[in-house]
Amino acid sequence: MALHKPYTDIPGTTIFDAEQSRKGYWLNQFCVSLMKAENRARFKADERAYLDEWPMTEEQKQAVLARDLNRCIAAGGNIYFLARIGATDGKSFQQMAGSMTGMSENEYRDMMVAGGRSIDGNRRIGEDGSAQPHRQPQGAHAAKSGGA
């Protein structure tokens, strides 16, 4: 019997379930290795060589090299694991979370200070909130460069 997944109709949201975990096992375990200072140093010295020590898919490695957290999550990554990459780069959780929206760091910070992203229109795919697929990427830069 397939896993029951009542959570696939939420826009811009990937639930880290057993299936995602299997897909992302080595990507996430690579992230765990970055909790040691000596591994962070080795990764920073030659990222590609360090990644090649892990049985990750090429897509997972490319997503890490590009620091594209949405791609990492699609490839089975979980944000609490992926945060080790951001920490290695000296980034905060806010910078990491914001990077997944298309907004600039300041735009995202301003949104949070103004009370955060509204739930209205963002509960289910098919509504018209800011997290809906047809409104990506977000932010002024994205709009100027031809985004929605």
Partner 1 sequence: MARITASVYTSHVPAIGAALDLGKTGEPYWQKVFAGYEFSKTWMKENRPDVIFLVYNDHATAFSLELIPTFAIGTAAEFQPADEGWGPRPVPVVKGHPELASHIAQSVIQDDFDLTIVNKMDVDHGLTVPLSLVCGQVNEWPCPVIPFAVNVVQYPVPSGRRCFALGQAIRRAVESYDEPLKVQIWGTGGMSHQLQGARAGLINREWDNAFLDRLVADPAQLSQMPHIDYVREAGSEGIELVMWLIARGAMADVAGGAAPRVAHRFYHVPASNTAVGHLILEDA
35/49 with CB nearer partner 1: 35
Phi and psi angles of residue 35, each rounded to the nearest 5 degrees, phi first: -80, -5
Q: Find out whether 100 and 69 touch, Cβ atoms under 8 Å.
A: yes
Q: How far apart are the first and last CA of the chain?
A: 39
Return d(Cα 109, Cα 43) in angstroms, integer: 29
Residue 121 beta carbon to partner 1: minimum distance, rounded to whole angstroms: 11
Which positions touch partner 1 (CB under 8 A)? 6-7, 10-18, 21, 25, 28-29, 31-32, 34-37, 40, 69-70, 73, 78-81, 83-84, 86-88, 92-94, 96-98, 100-102, 108, 111-113, 115-119, 122-124, 130-133, 135-138
DSSP state of 111: H
Q: How far is the CB of 58 from partner 1 (least distance, A)?
A: 20
Cβ at position 66, least distance to partner 1 in Å: 16
